[in-house]
Chains A and B, each alone.
Chain A
């Protein structure tokens, strides 16, 4: 019999659209309504050929199928013996699983880091330096009359962001809004903009600082900034000053270009300055569906949002020193547990090389690039499809992830697998003492 699940939260990007209608027939998802192309693709095809259905342990060039108990025992042993293990990933699983992961990292004395480290980590650093003026997406939808996307291309990366919250949405108090896009190339989003400013690559900092001066009606000694005539920037400054409620959304185009956290620092400072004149908010366009949740759980458990080092028994935080890529590039770690992420496909090559050179344990539903090079693979369920949990939207609003279908027989959730490893680690430590 067909069953329709309503108000399903989409487990793809940090927009966490919670209006999906998913039809299930004989334990299989057969239709998805309201979702974007990413959402439909994941929900209809998640259970494909790449699915891992048995825990695996490396034997030479091949994997041997083993029981969960055996794989967990081996994983716990590798992690307990390590001198400086790394716990990486976390952005595509539930807050509940992340909580257990942090407990495990603390028990072992390792470094735990999320994928923030390669995308919006600099945003966090910028926020810690100068604060953040923000709001929920609901406020933006109902009240904003000026939307700016800076180094971000939502039409491609967050397909329903504009439809649900900004220029294509109809708010209660605000139906029409102006769109400004600042980018280094004419993106799909830029084509829809009322004002598109194409700046020279790696010059975001200069433009943001110049705007901070221009919104005060002060003058600059130069005629162009980042290849843009000052007159054009004055036009943007005027739009910013004259709006009633502005919202600036920024992506990795700002956080991962030259200047990094200082670009975000400049952007937030601009918004802070603007709030002396009008109402303006700023928000990072977070990527994976629960990367915001990972920051949240990390913060409430350890006091720090990512890159937390437990090696001396208490949490320490210093990105650059305790962040995953830096540790891997300095070749300091000697084992790793990767959960809900694919670092071999996303980290710099030298970092990935060091990661796979040492004992590597992967918890993932798929045979990802990282899993293929792992020593132990622990298959897990898909959170938001086969397991329930909690995730945080990019504006820090928590939403429930639903269980819609049953997982393949015997497959455990991330939370259960991590709890088993934690239990085994504690048993090993007790025996040793």
Chain B
């Protein structure tokens, strides 16, 4: 096991893509200590910021301690191993991750799991905007793997999602699942408006309150249960909407009926269908 303990609190942004099992597993303690990282516009060695220790032989397991809110890109492109962060982290955690597991006992910044391809990220706190989403101008987000957030997420979670699953046990901001093509997003509590905007495919399940559905979604059915993944099924009534019509989309939006009585006016369209 490799452990990194942050020495002093940080003021300037730090880019530390080298904190990942792939980068550290073959290196000696001395080599790890001398790894270069950027602190603002100055280049420093990893040992200037962290107290580093190696214990036992499990080199693909890393534990990081301290408030890493300013540290960006931890676990980027990792393919294997386990990375546990005891504290908050900054942006781009697990960006383009291809395998392994990241566990965070704290909050994470924007672009967590950005464009991830495989592996698992589990966050016990809250996360920022653009969860799993691509960077500016790119149109392919998360394409596989799993992100579990026990707290809340901000805007545009799962934007441009291609595949994989995002589970949020707290609430979500606006534009969850923006322009998604496939995959699943599950939001247990309150969900911000514009969920599924411009989606073409995939599935979004909102079990909590949703103020309104975009006008460009059309009601399809009232289901008595919905499947999240594998054998996991929520047995309560859900409205099923299809959209986004603006993009000729076939995305599925499941909204809890129990938590959203204000959406019951859509039921008149379903009754009409039955008469036909």
Contact = CB atoms under 8 A, between A and B. Distances in A.
A128 B41 contact: no
Name the prevailing secondary structure of the A interface residues: loop
A83 B40 contact: yes
Interface string A275-317: 0000000000000000000000000000000000011110001
A210 interface: yes
Contacts of A210: 215-216
B137 A129 contact: yes
Interface stretch (A38-46, A65-73, A220-228, A238-246): A220-228
Given A109-B41, A332-B70, A206 B215 contact: yes
A221 B216 CA distance: 8
Contact of B216 (A209, A258, A313, A321): A209
Contacts of A84: 12-13, 40-41
Nearest to B156: A262
A133 to B, nearest CB: 17
Contacts of A313: 41
Contacts of A330: 70
Contact of B246 (A213, A259, A331, A334): A213
A319 interface: yes
Contacts of B110: 320-321
Q: A109, A222, A259, A269: which has the most chain B beta carbons within 10 Å?
A: A222
Interface string A77-88: 000001111000
A213 B245 contact: yes
Interface string A188-207: 00000000000000000110
B42 interface: yes
Given A84-B40, A221-B269, A321-B91, A205 B216 contact: no
Nearest to B194: A205
Nearest to B160: A129
Nearest to A127: B137
B215 A221 contact: yes
Contacts of B135: 318
Nearest to A128: B137
A365 interface: no
A14 interface: no
Contacts of A128: 136-137
B129 A83 contact: no
B209 interface: no
A262 B175 contact: yes
Interface residues of B, number: 37
A127 to B, nearest CB: 9
Given A213-B246, A221-B218, A269-B246, A108 B41 contact: yes
Contact of B38 (A85, A205, A213, A311): A311
B11 interface: yes
B272 to A, nearest CB: 11
B245 to A, nearest CB: 5
B136 A318 contact: yes
B161 to A, nearest CB: 15
B104 interface: no
A399 interface: no
B40 A205 contact: no
Contact of B11 (A108, A110, A212, A334): A334
B82 interface: no
A125 interface: yes
A62 interface: no
B39 interface: yes
Given A221-B266, A318-B136, A83 B214 contact: no
Interface in A317-333: 317-321, 330-332
A84 B38 CA distance: 11
A207 to B, nearest CB: 9
Contacts of B70: 330, 332
9 contacts: A83-B12, A84-B41, A129-B139, A209-B198, A221-B218, A265-B198, A266-B198, A311-B38, A332-B13
Given A210-B216, A310-B41, 8 more contacts: A125-B136, A209-B216, A222-B215, A311-B38, A312-B38, A317-B136, A318-B135, A332-B70
Interface of A: 82-85, 108-110, 125, 128-129, 205-206, 209-210, 212-213, 218, 220-222, 225, 258-259, 262, 265-266, 269, 310-313, 317-321, 330-332, 334
Q: Which 5 A-B pairs have the closest CB atoms?
A: A109-B41, A83-B40, A84-B40, A212-B246, A128-B137
